[in-house]
Amino acid sequence: MAKLWRCEICGDPYIGETPPDNCPFCGAHRRHIKEAREAKANFDVELNEQDKANVERALQLEISNAAFYFCAAGKTDDAEGKLLFKALGKVEQEHAGIWRKILKLDSISAGNDACFVKNRENLQGSHERETRAIGFYRKAAAESANDRVRQIFDALVEVETDHLHLSGERLK
């Protein structure tokens, strides 16, 4: 029998008999997906100056990465690469949406990052972007005074690490 699940990181619902291994929207790992009635996905948090600066930087990072991935999905010279970059773009766009909710913004602008035609160059770009995101998110989590903000940064370190492995496997 189908149940209603909710990701505690992005807040989005999912219908299925069991929770997915990863949130189909933000990529959060299964432990963050609970039955909807039990899930806690609060975006109304108080931010100190450091957290606000880190969340604003995270928003810009995710906008930039989403733009790069959507560009790569349209231009790369590899059919599987087009699919990979489209999927990554959607996830990064969802991450930007998480930070938009935390910052209480009505909307966010789209990025316009350039990409490449050669799939290998896009994979290298992906690898560099994910490595930077992981480093920044680890630092931001360690600096955070807010449990919810730290939870999101920690969860996104895991998701971005998954993305890093995807590009790394294809660069071999």
Residue 31: band (very low, low, confident or very high) from pLDDT cuts 50, 70, 90: very high
Report field, pTM of the whole predicted structure over 0.95: yes
CATH architecture of the domain with residue range 49-171: Up-down Bundle (1.20)
**Predicted local distance difference test score (pLDDT) of residue 70:** 98
DSSP one-letter code for 115: -
Residue 61: band (very low, low, confident or very high) from pLDDT cuts 50, 70, 90: very high
DSSP one-letter code for 30: G
Q: Which residues contact 52 (CB under 8 A, 6 or more apart)?
A: 103
Instruction: Look up residue 128 and give its two tokens.
Output: 């560099």
Strands of the sheet containing 13-16, edge to edge, are 13-16, 3-7, 33-35
Q: Which fold has domain 3-35?
A: Rubrerythrin, domain 2 (2.20.28)
Residue 98: band (very low, low, confident or very high) from pLDDT cuts 50, 70, 90: very high
Give 34-45 pLDDT, tens digit per residue.
Answer: 999 999 999 999
Whether the domain at 3-35 and the domain at 49-171 fall into the same CATH topology: no
CB burial readout 25-57, b (16+ within 10 A) else e? bbbbbeebbbeeeebebebeeebeeebeebbee
**Over the chain, what is the mean pLDDT?**
97
What ranges do the domains of the chain cover?
3-35, 49-171
Residue 26: band (very low, low, confident or very high) from pLDDT cuts 50, 70, 90: very high
